[in-house]
Structure 1
C-alpha cells in the first residue's frame, strides 16, 4: 500500500520540489498552499496525477491543518508523513520590527507548523508511527550581521525547539520528528526578499555554491524513509554552519 504525505507550501520552490519527488516515487501526496490558483497550476504541471490531491488553505489557521488531515484520511486512508514547509521570511532591522511583523511570522511559521502537526499526529498514533519533517533555517544557529531577521528567525527557532520536544514526547509511539535547516536555496523566496542574484551568496557556503530545491527534497525523502532518525536539526547548507571561506 502506498504511503501518504502532506506537504504544505507546495505551490513553489522547496515545497513544490518535495511534492513532485514524493509523487514520482509512488507516495500519495496532499499538496497545500494558500493560493488555490497557483496550486492548481502546479498540479496540472505535474500532469494531474491520480496520487496527488490539492487542498488550499491558510496554514496559520487551525482549521486548515484539520482539513488537510481529513482529506488525507478520506482520500488515501492514512497519514504517514507530514512536511511542514509553508513559511514566510523577510529581513527587517530589529528596531523597526512592529507587532504585526511578529504576528505574521509566528502565526505562519510557528503556529502553522504547530497546528498542522497537532492535526496529523492522532492518525499516526493509530497507525503505529509516522514522520514529521519541519523546515527551519541555518540562521537559527548561524546569524549573519548583514541580514537582520530577528522576527522570522525567532519563529523558526521555535520550530527547532518544537522538533526536539515532539521527538521526545512521541518517540515511544514510533513518530519521528526532525527539522531540515536549509542554507541559501535557489527559489522564488530569494526574489521576494530582495535578493536578485542568489548565486552571489555562494561564498556563504564552503562548497561555494547555493543549494537547489532538489537538495532539500532529497533529504526530506530520506528522512521520511528512515526509521531511526529523530529529534535532529539537519543542516543542508553546503557547509554554511560548519565554517567560513577566506582568501
Structure 2
C-alpha cells in the first residue's frame, strides 16, 4: 500500500516543490492551502482551506483517511512572514502570524500524530527559518522568531515524546528561498544576506525534507538549509 503524506501551504513555492518530491517517491499526497486547485493526478488529493482554522485540519485528515486510508507523514510548510519594525506590528498582524504559524501547526499535527500512533510509525517535518538562530540587521523578524522558534523547540519536544512510538519529528530551517514571495528585483540584495552569496531554491528545501523522510535514525533535528546563515557572518 502506498504511503500518504499531508503537505500544508502546498499551492506554490516550497510547498508545491515538496508535493512533486513526494510524488517522485511514489507517495500519495494530500495537499492543502487556501487557494489550492483540484489536481488531475489521482494520487494527489487537494483540500482548500485556512490551516489556522481547526475545521480545516479536521477536514484534511478526514478526507485523507477517506480517500487513501492512512497518514504516514505530515509536512507543516504553511507559514506567513510579515516584515515590519516591531512597534509597527498591528494586533491583526500578530493574530494572523500566530494563527497560521502556531495554530496551523498545532491542530493538524495533533490529529495526524493520533493517526500515526495507530500503526506505530510516522514522520512530521516543520518548516521554520534560520532567522530564529541568527537575526539579521534590517530584516525585522520578531514574529517569525516568536512562532518559528517555538516550532523548533516543539520539534525536539515531540521527537522525544514519540521516539519510542515509532514517530519521528524534524525541522528544516531555510534561509531566504526564491519563491513568489520575493520579487526578482530583490534577489541580489537578499542573496547577499547569505555567506554563500545567493538565495536558495525551492528544490534545496524539498531535497532536505526527502533526506529527513528517508533518514530513519534522525529525529529531533533542526536541519539548516540556509547558505551558511546560521553558522555566522
- TM category (shorter chain) comes to over 0.9
After the TM superposition, which parts of structure 1 deviate over 3 Å for at least 4 consecutive aligned residues? none
Structure 1: any 5+ residue segments left out of the alignment? none
Work out whether 1:35 is the aligned partner of 2:27.
no
Alpha carbons 2:194, 2:226 under 8 Å: kept? yes
Match of 2:20 in 1: 20
Structural mapping, 1:1-247, within 5 Å: 1-36=1-36, 39-40=37-38, 43=39, 48-191=40-183, 196-244=185-233
TM superposition shift of 1:205: 2.0
CA distance in 2, matches of 1:136, 1:176: 17
TM superposition shift of 1:157: 1.2
CA distance in 2, matches of 1:204, 1:96: 23
Q: For the aligned residues, what is the CA RMSD? A: 1.3
Q: How many residues align?
A: 233
SS at match of 1:147: coil
Q: Deviations over 1:4-61 (max 9, x none)?
A: 000000000000000011112210000101114xx33xx3xxxx21111101111001
TM superposition shift of 1:237: 0.7
Alpha carbons 1:101, 1:151 under 8 Å: kept? no
SS at match of 1:197: helix
Structure 2: any 5+ residue segments left out of the alignment? none
Alpha carbons 1:106, 1:152 under 8 Å: kept? no
Q: Deviations over 1:69-122 (max 9, x none)?
A: 111111111101100001111201011122221111011001101111011011
Name the TM-score, length of structure 2 as normaliser: 0.96
Alpha carbons 2:33, 2:50 under 8 Å: kept? yes
SS at match of 1:134: strand
Name the TM-score, length of structure 1 as normaliser: 0.90
CA distance in 2, matches of 1:96, 1:200: 23
State which drifts further: 203-212 or 179-188. 203-212
CA distance in 2, matches of 1:97, 1:201: 22
